[in-house]
Amino acid sequence: MMRIDILTLFPEMIEPIIKESIIGKAIKENKIEIHVINFRDFSNNKHNKVDDYPFGGGSGMLIGIQPIYDALQSIDKKKTTKVILTTPQGQPFNQMKAEELSQEEHLIIICGHYEGIDDRVREHLVDEEISIGDYVLTGGELPALILVDAIIRLLPEVINESSHQNDSFSTRILEHPHYTRPAEFQGMKVPDVLLSGNHKLINRYRMKESLRNTYLKRPDLLKNYSLTDKEKKLLQEIIDEEKQNNKK
Ligand code: ADE
């Protein structure tokens, strides 16, 4: 069973979220074990202080290394345990990284903090720094939850396989549109082909609309995606159709 330890100053930001939905269910069903640790509890300071003024001066405070070091020491580690720090300086998180991390036995995620952390933490205690995107948040708690969510759904038996085989980014292009009943709602109709029962046509429609979505919304993804001959043909149709549409 995979295990994740999350080191944070704000366990209340993590605990209620992981109780819910798919993550909550995965924990209940023993598919994953998650421990949330407040590293303030490990502070040597008599007031449980974890931050201090930066050497060399400057504004703000920094989280010191001691409580993080001791919190890490308290965790049972395996040879393969991977320690991650969430920070905007990290490597960008993506589906490939989620897939890679979902293969690990044990992850420790240290939540960064807006004040900053003594750099000896990243230099000596951390294996990998990860950013969830090019924007700056107040702390690493939401990023840690995002990592956990993206990783857990890839674990065997957490979500039935076929529902993520078609995922955006696993297949490296965007999904086709999906519709459910009613077939018509207040004049809004679902595409006829989906009601036709013709699976060959339906597959063609799905492949094409998946390409169209990608072409219109994330053309950058097509650059790294090697198209089959069939897909090339469909993409050309889409390009022609979109040109026609833009003329109208
Ligand atoms: N902490 C603050 N901003 C962050 C980001 N974009 N990714 C990961 N951790 C962060």
What CATH code is carried by the domain that includes residue 199? 1.10.1270.20
pLDDT score for 84: 98
The total of structural domains in the chain comes to: 2
- How far is it, in rounded angstroms, from Cα 154 to Cα 231? 27
Q: Which domain holds residue 77?
A: 2-162
Do both 109 and 195 map to the same domain?
no
Do both 101 and 220 map to the same domain?
no
pLDDT score for 82: 98
Do both 65 and 143 map to the same domain?
yes
pLDDT score for 114: 84
- How far is it, in rounded angstroms, from Cα 88 to Cα 112? 9
In a domain, 168, yes or no: no
For residue 160, report the phi and psi dihedrals to the nearest 5 degrees.
-60, 135
Do both 118 and 233 map to the same domain?
no
The atom of ligand 1 lying closest to the CA of 134 is 6
In a domain, 178, yes or no: no
Question: Does 224 score more than 90 pLDDT?
Answer: no
Do both 118 and 213 map to the same domain?
no
Ligand 1 centroid to Cα of residue 135, in Å, is 7
Average the pLDDT over 136-164 and give the result: 91
For residue 67 and ligand 1, the question of a CB distance below 6 A is answered with: no
For residue 24 and ligand 1, the question of a CB distance below 6 A is answered with: no
The atom of ligand 1 lying closest to the CA of 114 is 2
CB–CB of 240/233 below 8 Å?
no
Ligand 1 centroid to Cα of residue 209, in Å, is 33
In a domain, 114, yes or no: yes
Question: How confident is the model over 76-125, as pLDDT tens digits?
Answer: 999 999 999 999 999 999 999 999 999 999 999 999 988 899 999 999 99
96-110 per-residue burial string, b: 16 or more CB within 10 A, e: under 16: ebbeebbebebbbbb
3, 40, 153, 204: the active-site residue:
153
Do both 17 and 102 map to the same domain?
yes
Question: Does 170 score more than 70 pLDDT?
Answer: no
For residue 8 and ligand 1, the question of a CB distance below 6 A is answered with: no
Which pTM was predicted? 0.92
Determine which residue's CA is closest to atom 10 belonging to ligand 1: 87
Do both 120 and 194 map to the same domain?
no
What interhelical angle do 11-18 and 21-28 show, nearest 10?
80
Question: How confident is the model over 33-86, as pLDDT tens digits?
Answer: 999 999 999 999 999 999 999 999 999 999 999 999 999 999 999 999 999 999
Residue 16: CATH number of its domain = 3.40.1280.10
For residue 112 and ligand 1, the question of a CB distance below 6 A is answered with: yes
Question: Does 207 score more than 90 pLDDT?
Answer: yes
